[in-house]
Structure 1
Amino acid sequence: MSQTEKVRVAILDDYQNIGLSSADWSPIQDRIAVDVYTDTVTSEDDVVQRLRPYPVVCAMRERTKFPARVIDRLPNLKLIATTGPRNAAIDVVYAKAKGIVVSGTSSKGNSTLEHIWTLILATARYLVHEDTNVKNNTQQWQTYLPLGLAGRTLGLVGVGSLGSKTAQIAKAFDMRVLGWSPHLTPERAAEAGVEFARSKEELLQQSDIVSIHMVLSDKTYHLIQETDLLLMKPTAFFINTSRGPLVDEEALVKILQQHKIAGAGLDVYDIEPLPSDHPLRRLDNVTLTPHTGYVSDTNYEAFWGDTVDNILGFLEGNPKRVLAA
């Protein structure tokens, strides 16, 4: 590549087409040629065909997967600049072994926490349903009976940073907060200000709202199964803003179809974007958002600002924010 030839950069999965406007790209604009992709391709063959020409790829979170077999088929790839401080969809160890730099970014604000409570409140108060009724001029002025939160129990599956902050806000609504995870101890629960549930079953049986806050791994895949969901009260709501595969999605759909629980608020799914024919789209007891928990103007400023800086560092031979293998 000559010194005057621009480095080709692909911005992936930029659904809102705002990657270039969320940061100042002027420090590198004369050195790169950028292509923005606003859609997601899911097959590995399509990913490879699209990305083969690019030395630099900007990944928006985990929307596009980079396992070893994909990396092997991208001989020109030199830098994956992912947004966020980690990305489970990238085989970072293998990328490093192939001489490919993987850089991450910081984040800013409380977007996910804000979205957790937006989804909890919208679901428990049937906000979207009533909004639709008003706009459709439904003759029945009030249709649904919201769940009052005061005195009710919020069950947190996972009481890490997000879970603890979620609990703090629940206290403002005078809720009881119960916590459980495979490794939660009574001492850590007390530090987070939540009651310790001795088992997952106890948490599910006692909670009026169950909200999951776990990292997806081999050990937490399908952590919530049909037998777990059947333990919930018929008046309870299930909330997932973490990762879709933490829950057996087929089982959740079945439980919702049968109205075994009051409803669900979901921001994450097994397949994203959610297929147009997915049964979740046809249910009347769900509130669905398109994985926007981490999306906000302030967070994108951090994501894309650091991405520009990461590309600049790479071009100058000084990679920044390199993710540990």
Structure 2
Amino acid sequence: MARVLIADNLEASAAETLKKLGVPVDHRPELSKKPEELKAALREYDAVIVRSAAKITAEMLENPGKLRAIARAGVGVDTIDVAAATRKGVVVMNTPGGNTVSAAEHTIALMMSLARLVPQADATMKKGGWDRNKFVGTQVTGKTLGVIGLGRIGREVAKRAAGLEMKVLAFDPFVTPDKVAEMGYKPAASIEAMLPDVDFLTIHVPLTDETKSLIGPNELAKMKKTARILNVARGGIVDEKALADALKAGTIGGAGIDVFSVEPIVADNPLIGAPNIVLTPHLGASTYEAQENVAIEAAELIANFLLKGIVANAVNMAAVDRKELDELKQYVDLARRLGMLHAQMNHGQIKKVALTYKGDLANKKTKLLTSAFTAGLLESRMAGVNLVNAEVMARDRGIEITSSASPKKDDFASLMQADVETDKKTYTAAGTLFGNEYLRLVRLGSYRLEAYLDGVLFVFSHRDRPGVIGFMGSTFGKHGVNIAGMNLGRQAPGGEAIGVLNLDTVPDAAAVDEVAGHSDITSVSVVKLPPAGELPGWLG
């Protein structure tokens, strides 16, 4: 039975949810502060749930043991080495929906605190002061809010700002201007284009190499002196030193910051001494409702993964729900077997793989099929390959994987074709599904055929001349190898041809050498595939 570790301070509802679903769970929040003990514990569990205190490093994942999945109760996964997890075949999932409203509300709270100088007024009164003239603020109605990033939180912030009768100017490189306008907001051509026009700027993007210091000295210089900046996303997106310098110089009106480049915040962080700034200790998701939501959502993600094979909200592989998995299972199996076929037929160093999905298959989740093919291609050469890490492991070894799709149908309703380029030649194989469960190899090179994709395949190129097939039958019979089926493909009588024999047992080297020695047989390959219907552990 799969076991789950909760290695962080998490609401009791997470463990309760898992127990109700029949999944054994241990809640050990103290491990979040004991990295060596956490490292050892991870190997003993099939899945782990963490929040923000526990750090899962590459060192911890070097030998992951039984670990198959990590769920982050929250959005950001910067406390998890996702690249290391991917290379070890561990799925990383997050819970982007659970704290959306809380983070959006905190953004609005910071904006209102800045606009009406609430923290400063509160501090003065608690010292016995009463200075109404000193704390004259500004109303937000009619002001322009610039929103960078229209994901879940960005959209919720924009919606609330519109409710306050603010003008919303938005930019997201993955949302078209027409879609932004359809949401009811004014699209900006770029971040730089929006900066001179905003009274408030809020950022809702993940921290990546591209977004680090997204708002730096050059961007701050383009903004109004009265503009205020909000960051409830991730520390590092706003250049802290540049922002502190601008606040001290009076070239920026104020800032509300909830996240920092180093957390907990360090004493020498330049924002601590800056004027006109409201700081909160990463409280965006800190509401009772958000904590409850992400705890339950993380538990459900893990339970669905372990019990049903459902992958949702994964940051390092394609999401798959039960219906999709059931619908695609046979094609995933087909893709893997084509990869295994290529791995055993190809002679030479693999350089590039081009996958083509045709017909009805073009409209399916082909990324999953690409991962399955790559897993099949690599699994005979290295251990631990699965849907999560296959493409990364291929890239690490210099193998380029590309894919394309065309809904146009040829001879089959659905077809998957794989062209594998090596340092010697390019090998082509294509397969399809007959009915609902019968996998067939329908093309090798330029030859058409209909061969079974299971068990032992003996693939041979030959000249189409009398006596070749008879010779093979008698030779294998002499060596005690039974031929269960045979398919041939040729373009013209007497010319070059290809054949696939389905054998009941693996022929020994003597049998293979004897067949290969025939003057009309130009090449042979023995391919070992799983029996019909046998699925890999990462799929079944």
What is the TM-score normalised by the length of structure 2? 0.50
Shift of 1:299: 2.3
Bigger RCO (CA 8 Å, 6+ sep): 1
Counterpart position of 1:20? 12
CA distance in 1, matches of 2:163, 2:307: 50
Question: 1:303-323: CA deviations, max 9, x gaps?
Answer: 222444456667x76565563
Question: Secondary structure of 2:263's partner?
Answer: coil
Shift of 1:202: 3.0
Change (3 A) 1:206 1:85: closer
Alignment of 1:68-83 (within 5 A): 68-72=58-62, 77=67, 79-83=69-73
Alignment of 1:1-325 (within 5 A): 9-12=5-8, 14=9, 19-20=11-12, 24=16, 27=19, 31-37=24-30, 47-48=35-36, 50-54=38-42, 55-56=44-45, 57-61=48-52, 63-72=53-62, 77=67, 79-84=69-74, 87-92=77-82, 94-105=84-95, 107-108=97-98, 110-182=101-173, 185-309=176-300, 321=311, 323=314, 324=317, 325=388
- In the alignment, is the contact (CA less than 8 A) between 2:304 and 2:311 conserved in 1? no
- In the alignment, is the contact (CA less than 8 A) between 1:204 and 1:232 conserved in 2? yes
Q: Which moved more, 1:258-267 or 1:87-96?
A: 87-96
Change (3 A) 1:97 1:183: closer
Q: Which moved more, 1:133-142 or 1:222-231?
A: 133-142
Q: Which runs of 5+ in 2 are unaligned?
A: 318-387, 389-540
Change (3 A) 1:66 1:35: closer
The residue type paired with residue 72 of structure 2 is T
CA distance in 2, matches of 1:163, 1:102: 23
Change (3 A) 1:85 1:248: closer
CA distance in 1, matches of 2:5, 2:204: 34
CA distance in 1, matches of 2:161, 2:19: 44
Question: Secondary structure of 2:145's partner?
Answer: strand
- In the alignment, is the contact (CA less than 8 A) between 2:234 and 2:260 conserved in 1? yes
- In the alignment, is the contact (CA less than 8 A) between 1:10 and 1:37 conserved in 2? no
The residue type paired with residue 218 of structure 2 is T
Question: Secondary structure of 1:24's partner?
Answer: helix
Q: Which runs of 5+ in 1 are unaligned?
A: none
The residue type paired with residue 11 of structure 2 is G
Question: 1:262-316: CA deviations, max 9, x gaps?
Answer: 11001111112212342322333111122221232222222222444456667x7
- In the alignment, is the contact (CA less than 8 A) between 1:95 and 1:102 conserved in 2? yes
- In the alignment, is the contact (CA less than 8 A) between 2:18 and 2:25 conserved in 1? no
Question: Secondary structure of 1:170's partner?
Answer: helix
Question: 1:241-274: CA deviations, max 9, x gaps?
Answer: 1112222222112212222211100111111221
Question: Secondary structure of 2:28's partner?
Answer: strand
CA distance in 2, matches of 1:195, 1:220: 22
- In the alignment, is the contact (CA less than 8 A) between 1:310 and 1:319 conserved in 2? no
- In the alignment, is the contact (CA less than 8 A) between 1:105 and 1:321 conserved in 2? no
The residue type paired with residue 81 of structure 1 is A
CA distance in 2, matches of 1:172, 1:30: 43
- In the alignment, is the contact (CA less than 8 A) between 1:126 and 1:144 conserved in 2? yes
Question: Secondary structure of 1:210's partner?
Answer: strand
Question: Secondary structure of 2:140's partner?
Answer: coil
Q: Which has the higher strand share?
A: 2
The residue type paired with residue 5 of structure 2 is V
Root-mean-square deviation (CA), in Å?
A: 3.4
Change (3 A) 1:146 1:84: same
- In the alignment, is the contact (CA less than 8 A) between 1:159 and 1:192 conserved in 2? no
Shift of 1:79: 4.3
Larger Cα Rg: Structure 1 or Structure 2? Answer: 2
CA distance in 2, matches of 1:288, 1:124: 14
- In the alignment, is the contact (CA less than 8 A) between 1:205 and 1:233 conserved in 2? yes
Question: 1:18-69: CA deviations, max 9, x gaps?
Answer: 533676368289955432139x76xxxx7345533343442115x5443534
Q: Which moved more, 1:127-136 or 1:48-57?
A: 48-57
Q: Which moved more, 1:275-284 or 1:262-271?
A: 275-284
- In the alignment, is the contact (CA less than 8 A) between 1:11 and 1:19 conserved in 2? no
Change (3 A) 1:51 1:252: same
- In the alignment, is the contact (CA less than 8 A) between 1:52 and 1:77 conserved in 2? no
CA distance in 1, matches of 2:50, 2:144: 38
The percentage of aligned residue pairs carrying the same residue is 29
- In the alignment, is the contact (CA less than 8 A) between 1:48 and 1:73 conserved in 2? no
Shift of 1:239: 0.7
What is the TM-score normalised by the length of structure 1? 0.79
Q: Which moved more, 1:167-176 or 1:75-84?
A: 75-84
Change (3 A) 1:204 1:58: same
Q: Which moved more, 1:256-265 or 1:166-175?
A: 166-175
Shift of 1:92: 4.2
